[in-house]
Each structure stands twice: as structure tokens, then as C-alpha cells.
Amino acid sequence: MSVHAEFCPAWASPPGETVREIAQRKGLKQAVVASALDVAEIELPRALDGDWPIDAERAEKLAAQIGGTPRFWLAREAQYRQALKSIHDDTRAWVSGLPFADMAKFGWIDAASTFADKLRHAFAFFGVSSVDEWREAWLSERGGLTAYRTSPVFTTQAAAAAAWLRQGELAASHIRTALWSRTDFERLLPDLRPLTRIHRPSEFLQQLQQKCAACGVAVVIVRAPKGCPASGATRVRNGQAVLQLSARYLRDDSFWFTFFHEAGHLVLHEDRLFLEWSEKRHLDEKEELEANDFAGKVLIPPSQEAALRELPHEYKSIMRFARNLSVSPGVVVGQLQHRGLLPREKLNFLKKRYTWG
């Protein structure tokens, strides 16, 4: 998937930059330049950086001593101030689009109330120094969220998804893994089915993370903040694969199907970021179907497909089938429903619900 959009970085060049260029070209001394800007020589660096606006009087002096016309310098000043305003407005829009309340609630950042503090925390969290740098890191081909950008102006969902992905990166950085091995990981997956029968995430997550880490996969569970509809994501960076889950539905059938679906992306499509985002699924329809098929075959091996389709839709038969396959009854119910063999409202009591700890 490659969806291109023009990248328009924002910056504001003060008129002082033009003054510097002309003065350097003409070989003018600092005293002359300071006089043209009507400032003391010691204050010249700040004046060139735009700390003092160019008014009509300064424009006249610049035209007389540096060159150009008063109209040129006044237009240059107006352009600079408008650029500063645009950057300020854009930065405020970016900050307001981030899910700060949930980010603080989940412990990703410190709580903040002022715009300045929020901006500082956001830059530190993402490891960037400007909104343009953030866009280049996240809304580009390199970042992987290109398809979720509809214009150079960020979208709230893209910002929330980027925050979720960033927290996944930070969590993965604390997991020591072997080098990513697609072969080892694919070989491991069937052996993970018995973990689906463990009811408490606190009991199976550590085992899941340890087994996957031995194959170079950092499995991280990151709660999705407001505005982020993602259920899972995968990417490979610097020899480590990251399999990130939001566990948004908190049921064993959904959790494990999403895990094996994401595992399918790592095995079949490791070359880029895959983000499970309901509103954009049409962009990856082929790959999503392949990952669905992969997950279904790991959970219910092809050798058991016929038995699954003939399985009576009653409690004891499903419990027996699940036990023999070393998989949870909830997963069996979910797969029957996924294949259209069982109505969505039937036997859901066999699915185990999780809670956030």
C-alpha cells in the first residue's frame, strides 16, 4: 500500500536572514547593519533573529543602508509574521489532536494543563523537536502511516494512532529479544495454542512474551487511547519484530485471533507496518484476508477443519473438541462464528472475558 500526499514543511524565515545575506554579499560591517535595524550592535543577533519587528521607520533605514525598498522590507516582515502565526496555529492543532487525557491516565506522559507543558511533553514522548519532524517520522513512507494522512494537516486519528504506536515502541524497547527469525516464529505458533486455555492474562502473557522473544518478537499490550481505533499492529525494526495489541474487545476469542492474525502479517508481510484500523481495511484487503486465513489455520489446523464443520453446536461437544485441540472453548466458538457456521449470538458464554489490570 502506497498512498502519496504532498509533504509541506512549515518554517518561518525572519527578514534578518535576508539582511545577513545582503550584508555578507556587500561586505557590510556589523555596525552598519545594526544602524540599519536601529538597534545597538550588541543586540544585532536578536534583531536578525526577528525579536524586533520591522516597522515603517526601520524599513526606510534598511532600504537606505542595506538595499531594496521600504515596501519590500514591510512585505518581508508581514510574510514572516504570518508564517509564525501559521506555525503556531498548526502546532496548537497538533497538540489539541493528541489524546493527552488518556496518555496521562495510562502513565505514558505526565499530566499537563498549559499548552507549553503539553507541547514539551509531546515532543519528549515522540522524541522530536517540531511538528514537521513528527510528520516526517510518522506520516511518511518511513513512518508507515502515509495511508492515514489525507492532507499535510494531521488528522486526529493519525495522531492518536501514532501515540499508540510510539508507546508500543517504548514498551518493546524494554523487552530483550533474539534477532528476528521468521522461520523460528512460524514454527513456534502452533505450540502457543495451549496458552489460549489459560484464563488469566497475568498467567499467560509472560509465557507468551518469553516464547516470542526467543524468536525475535516483542509482544506488547498497549491500551488504545481515545481516537485510536487500532486493534493490532506489526513492524520489524533493527532486527526486532514488534507485535502490538490493544486488546480492545477483552475476550479470549478476539485477543487470540488478533494475535495470530498479527503473527500472520509478520510471517507473510514483514516488509512494512501493518495497522489494524477498521476504517482503512480496504487498503490492505488482500493482505488482511491472507492474515485472517493464516490465523484460522493456526487456531484450527486444516486437519481438523472437517471435524469443526461437523461439530454439534452444544456445550459438551465444543468443550471436548477444544480440549482435544488444546485450544480454548471461546476460540472454537469464535472460529465457528467467523466461518459462518454458528450465529453470532450463540454460545458466547463460552468466551472468557479479560479485564485491564
Predicted confidence at residue 151, as pLDDT, reads 43
Which amino acid, residue 191? Answer: D
Q: How far apart are CA 323 and CA 344, in angstroms?
A: 22
pLDDT digits (tens, 9 = 90+) for 221-279: 999 999 888 889 999 988 999 999 998 888 999 999 999 999 999 999 877 788 876 45
Say how many CA atoms lie within 13 Å of 289 toward its Cβ.
4
**So where are the chain's domains?**
15-95, 96-164, 165-350
Percent of the chain with pLDDT over 70: 89
Q: Is the pLDDT of residue 203 over 80?
A: yes
Q: Is the pLDDT of residue 53 over 60?
A: yes
Average pLDDT over residues 334-344: 94
Of the candidates 197, 186, 331, the one whose C-alpha atom is nearest the C-alpha of residue 254 is 331
Predicted confidence at residue 277, as pLDDT, reads 67
Predicted confidence at residue 127, as pLDDT, reads 94
Predicted confidence at residue 142, as pLDDT, reads 64
Least confident piece of the model among 64-78, 271-285, 317-331: 271-285
Predicted confidence at residue 5, as pLDDT, reads 30
Average per-residue pLDDT in the chain? 87
Q: Superfamily assignment of 15-95 in CATH?
A: lambda repressor-like DNA-binding domains (1.10.260.40)
Residue of higher predicted confidence among 197 and 50:
197
Give the chain as a 3 state SS string. CCCCCCCCCCCCCCHHHHHHHHHHHHCCCHHHHHHHCCCCHHHHHHHHCCCCCCCHHHHHHHHHHCCCCHHHHHHHHHHHHHHHHHHHHHHHHHHHHCCHHHHHHCCCCCCCCCHHHHHHHHHHHHCCCCHHHHHHHHCCCCCCCHHHCCCCCCCHHHHHHHHHHHHHHHHHCCCCCCCCCHHHHHHHHHHHHHHHHCCCHHHHHHHHHHHHHCCCEEEEECCCCCCCCEEEEEEEECCEEEEEECCCCCEHHHHHHHHHHHHHHHHHCCCCCEEEEHHHHHHHHHHHHHHHHHHHHHHCCHHHHHHHHHCCCCHHHHHHHHHHHCCCHHHHHHHHHHCCCCCCCCCHHHCCECCCC
Grid cell digits, residue 305: 477443519
Q: Determine phi and psi for 76, rounding to 5 degrees.
A: -65, -40
Burial of 155 per CB tally in 10 Å (0-12, 13-18, 19+)? middle
Of the candidates 340, 228, 224, the one whose C-alpha atom is nearest the C-alpha of residue 277 is 228
Predicted confidence at residue 156, as pLDDT, reads 61
Least confident piece of the model among 1-5, 46-50, 137-141, 171-175: 1-5
Q: Is the pLDDT of residue 141 over 90?
A: no
Predicted confidence at residue 6, as pLDDT, reads 33
Average pLDDT over residues 200-221: 96
Least confident piece of the model among 146-155, 189-198, 235-244, 265-274: 146-155
pLDDT digits (tens, 9 = 90+) for 80-132: 888 788 778 888 888 988 999 999 999 999 998 899 899 999 999 999 998 88
Percent of the chain with pLDDT over 90: 61
pLDDT digits (tens, 9 = 90+) for 277-311: 645 544 568 888 999 999 999 999 999 999 999 99
Q: Is the pLDDT of residue 58 over 70?
A: yes
Q: What is the pTM of this model?
A: 0.77
